[in-house]
Structure 1
């Protein structure tokens, strides 16, 4: 498994948002979606507020790979479903990073959003 290097983790993890493009079944990239990203330990995560029914989340499921860009870094990634054992750390990361938006951050802390937590793994 490829790992993020320290600079990538710090840079992407510190960015307010990232652009995410998932791959279609034919290998072409979808249009970018702008979203919040958090770092927990040595991993990067995104969540769908609409849960697994969210359009961008469904798009990640055809090939489970795509491309992200943030802070001047562009990287091909695999989308891996995060497990329940990761949810508390991801919740804490969202609260710490985006807590200044209390009426918005609560939407990524629901059970529906937790079920759509993706770990971004470089490839």
Structure 2
């Protein structure tokens, strides 16, 4: 799998307009774009589901493992990888920094949202995620 080009990752990190569209059950049709918060930690892009593991987009992302995102004027084909463990603390800190002052911050660093953290990895034109 690819890594994000630095310029793109910087644009994404500065943006607050990420929309995520995991594939539907057919593995071909994109789901309805859902606006979510995103953070960059250690050169990787992470997102969380506000409603935790019950969130529709999260369930689709974990099941289908791929889809696309639209952010900072870009549309990218991506793979989704569930995340757990110590990286969660770094992701929490990134959310605190990026979204400081938001009334939704506490929900996004709660155990409910933290349990639904996904790493978003870019796919090259020739890659597919099976």
Asked whether the two chains share a fold, i.e. TM above 0.5, the reply is yes
The structure where helix makes up a greater share of residues is 1
Q: TM-score, normalised by structure 2?
A: 0.89
Q: Kindly report structure 1 stretches of 4+ aligned residues shifted beyond 4 Å.
A: none
Partner of 1:107: 107
Q: CA deviation at 1:63?
A: 1.1
Per-residue displacement from partner, 1:19-53 (whole Å, max 9, x unpaired)?
11110121110110011111111011110121111
Q: CA deviation at 1:61?
A: 2.5
Structure 2 runs not aligned, ≥5 long: 124-130
CA contact (8 A) 1:12 1:73 kept: no
TM-score of the aligned structures, taking structure 1 as reference length: 0.94
The runs of 5 or more residues in structure 1 that have no matched partner are none
Equivalent residue, structure 1, for 2:60: 59
Q: Distance in 2 between matches of 1:81 and 1:19?
A: 18
Matched-pair contact (CA < 8 Å) for 1:23–1:59: yes
